[in-house]
Amino acid sequence: MIIGFFTALLLIFGFSMLAYCYCNKLWDGIFVLLILLSFLFIIRQEWIASALSISLLLYSLLFAKRTSYTQLATFSMVGSIAFAFFLLNFFLNNQLSHPVAMIIFTLLLMCYLTIQGIFEDDLEKYLIISSFIQTLFVLLDLTVASHRGGSIIALGTIQIFNYTFAGILLFLALGILSKDNRRIKITQLRGSNYRNPLIAACAIVAALSLAGIPGLNMFVSEWLLFQKAFLISPVITIFGIFLALLLFIMYFKLVYVLSVSESKIKERSPLLLNVISVLLMVICIVLGLLPNLQYFILGLVG
């Protein structure tokens, strides 16, 4: 069931991104298909899949300016999902010798990345930072679960499950609003709420979800994480609260930019992308308002 679960997440991303390619650059769809098929082919080879996932994440970090927006989204999302699969299998079969130190180090790294994200105006770099932070949340989940003796599968899957929907929605909505990254700066997205209010609303919901706002899907996984992490050490509690505040600032910056400054120009996005974006937004809201639905779905995994 675990392989089926992660395969489903990859297919959800693949469908959304292929729809984006169909409405923008059709040739990029071939790239998306090749990456997806390669992972689906080697997903049972855990170490090979993990090496490829790490390569994708590092490539997106080091060569962001040499890739198209679609390629960046594919590297980031597929890399995160596949790396989460590797981490889950690793923690199911191994035990860390110093889990508390790993938790504190991960929190510090996430705080550092979040501070970078707060001051970052380049849209691609901002999205890469966001993707790395959410991937580190998976590592944090699994480390806490292994130390506290909780369900590794439950904590290991709920974070990437929620991030798949919120992350795809963020990439999709910002791709539309930025005209496939022709608006390369976050500040250039000012007035999006007036130019394309529907997609701007989708982007805002995605950003607020990733910030861990109650009532949205990412809050459920982050609440479960910090609920267990706070029992381990007061130091973790302090860093956890600090990280939550930084994340709110980082993502609310995007919400603010999308909402301010009026624009007399109206922009239309393809109906297909509108439907997919609204569907993802509804999923983020429903999973946040009905957390038991998440528990039921993830209970089927393991």
Torsion angle of alpha carbons 290, 131, 50, 26, nearest 10°?
Answer: 100
How far is 299 from 154, CA to CA, in rounded Å?
8
Per-domain residue ranges for the chain? 2-299
pLDDT of the residue at 200:
96
Q: Which helix (H) or strand (E) holds 180?
A: none
Contact 217, 288 (CB under 8 A): yes
Is residue 47 packed enough to be buried (19+ CB in 10 Å), middle (13-18) or exposed (0-12)? Answer: exposed
Residue bearing tokens 């990029």: 28
Give φ, ψ of 216 to 5 degrees: -120, 160
**Residue 210: strand, helix, or coil:** helix
Query: Whole-prediction pTM value?
Result: 0.92
* CA–CA distances in Å: residue 198 to residues 41, 169, 179: 37, 13, 15
pLDDT of the residue at 71:
87
**Token digits of residue 109:** 């790294």
Residue bearing tokens 């690793």: 90
Give φ, ψ of 185 to 5 degrees: -105, 145
Mean pLDDT by 10 residues, the chain (302 residues): 88 94 86 82 68 68 74 89 88 83 92 96 94 93 79 82 96 92 88 93 97 94 83 82 94 94 82 97 96 84 66
pLDDT of the residue at 61:
63
**Token digits of residue 116:** 């970078």
**Token digits of residue 36:** 């997806």
pLDDT of the residue at 1:
76
